[in-house]
Structure 1
Amino acid sequence: MSSTPTVREQFLVISALGANPMELTNVLCRASHENRCSVVTSRLTRHGECSALILQVSGSWDALARLETGLSSLSKKHAFTTSVVRSATLENRPEALPYVAYVSSAYRPDIINELCQFFI
């Protein structure tokens, strides 16, 4: 008795920058759905007049390849830029407790760098 092999799920991380956050989200989520991919995680942020959307998309290798191929024409048509990276699942999470830090300080150009050094 042979069992059918399970299709190994693969991931694509798409980062996109554009002026219109709703169009950016709509176009990329629709393209993912039309290519039989699933949006696993998403983050949308505003930076001045620019919006940044980061999507982690899962699917079979051929579905991700179709999505990846179509992104360049979509980005030209809707006037946004994309960057795409193949990714894998995070196999082992480190043995650590998550925490949140709220920082209130005077503005200094090097403050972010100093905060990062503290948490390393």
Structure 2
Amino acid sequence: MTDLDPANRPGNNTHHLLIHSFSKHPDSPLLRLARRITDSGCNLEDARLSTLGGDIVVSARASGPWDAIAKLETMLSRLAREDGLQIHAHRTDSQSKLSNLLPYMVEVVAADRPGILLALADFFEGQGIALESVACSRYQAMQTGADMFSAQLTIGIPSDTHIAALRDDFLDFSDRMNLDAILDPIKF
């Protein structure tokens, strides 16, 4: 039997590839990545695009049978060589749905200083709470020109957590850190 023999192939289950690509603004790699994903026989399951400084960053997760994922990996290597994109891809597991996690949104605004995001991440990790997504930025206040920090975090709170106690602890933490912050459930 050869490696091409169907008996040697992994099961027909779905495989996943996590892709990160970087290019200079305004040359977005999203269209080129989406085209390669489709042309390989894979499905684009999830994608994020951000402009950070002078670069555009695309993070995407593709799925498909093992042979389509292998074809996509080859196509991405060729795309990186031919178009000069920086691409990193690796195989990953499917996204697990943890039904015992309650989705909450945290919003923070404060005078900018080093370590705010670190302190937020440390607080939630200490509570056993998963960070699902983070978006933060610096900006200047329109009225005063002061340097400001803003963050939006999506967190997954275990369902056995006492929400009122967590909210009290978070508000105490926010007061100590001099953060204007809220912790609210996400309403879908």
Moved more, 100-109 or 73-82: 73-82
The Cα shift of 1:22 comes to 5.6
TM-score, normalization: structure 1? 0.87
2:78 corresponds to: 73
Structure 1: segments with no counterpart, 5+ residues: 1-5
Mapping 1:1-120, distance limit 5 Å? 7-20=12-25, 23-93=28-98, 95-120=100-125
Residues 1:20 and 1:60: Cα distance change in structure 2 (over 3 Å): farther
Structure 2: segments with no counterpart, 5+ residues: 1-10, 126-188
The SS at the match of 1:36 is coil
Instruction: Tell whether the 8 Å contact from 2:28 to 2:56 is kept in structure 1 after alignment.
Output: no
Instruction: Tell whether the 8 Å contact from 1:14 to 1:55 is kept in structure 2 after alignment.
Output: yes
Instruction: Tell whether the 8 Å contact from 1:19 to 1:80 is kept in structure 2 after alignment.
Output: no
Instruction: Tell whether the 8 Å contact from 2:18 to 2:92 is kept in structure 1 after alignment.
Output: yes
The Cα shift of 1:69 comes to 1.4
Instruction: State the 4+ residue runs in structure 1 displaced beyond 2 angstroms.
Output: 20-23
2:176 corresponds to: none
CA RMSD of aligned residues (A): 1.6
Greater Rg by CA: 2
